[in-house]
Amino acid sequence: MTMGTQGADHYFSSQPSTPMKRRPLRVVLAGEERNLHTAGGIFSPDGVDKGTIILLNEAPPPATTGNLLDIGCGWGPIALTLALRSPAATVYAVDVNERSIELTQDNAKELGLDNVKASTPEAVAADLRFDTIWSNPPIRVGKAELHSILLMWLPRLAHNGAAYLVVQKNLGSDSLQRWLSAELTEQFPDAGFTVARDSTNKAFRILKVTRTKP
């Protein structure tokens, strides 16, 4: 995962120490220019980072209905794109960074999207299942924490649901693919999880995780 401009804070801090200073952000999401807001102390505050651009451009269309999930929402590019593409679905955007949650909520309002629910992970009902998961996962939180995050959410894929994770090659995309395949198969042998490389380019891979059984 590329870092973007972080300033003095890590984007995975729950409460950044620097004051929140909103500034306008003009970006292209779902094929159109959008006027949004950003701030320091979050992941990639200056725009859509390279990995996320690849995910948004190359992942197959999300489910049109049901529950969709963005893990590590930042200011909201993935969650907002899911909501724009699937207006009949409910999009859950989770982050440990409270500033990210606030910005995603406010940016959804700016776009007139009432199908985005941004919150901390703990606020999402434990029995909720997801038809589509998109994420640029926080690789730099460390391997143990990353594994914990992925094992919290990927087993909550719905039957025939799919997750798409964009991971930088030099930050361990291939080893993560192998680990996910082994771990999901061992821990959830009856769920029919498969892990494969969906697409690749010079710097990033998109990993696809599917659940083939209820």
pLDDT of the chain, 214 residues: tens digit per residue: 333 333 334 445 566 657 789 999 999 999 999 999 999 999 999 999 999 999 999 999 999 999 999 999 999 999 999 999 999 999 999 999 999 999 999 999 999 999 999 999 999 999 999 999 999 999 888 899 999 999 999 999 999 999 999 999 999 999 999 999 999 999 999 999 999 999 888 899 999 999 999 9
Name the maximum alpha-carbon separation found in the chain: 48
| CB contact set of 10 (below 8 Å; sequence gap of 6+) | none
pLDDT for 1 equals 32
The CA distance from 26 to 41, in Å, is 18
The CA distance from 65 to 97, in Å, is 27
| The overall pTM is greater than 0.95 | no
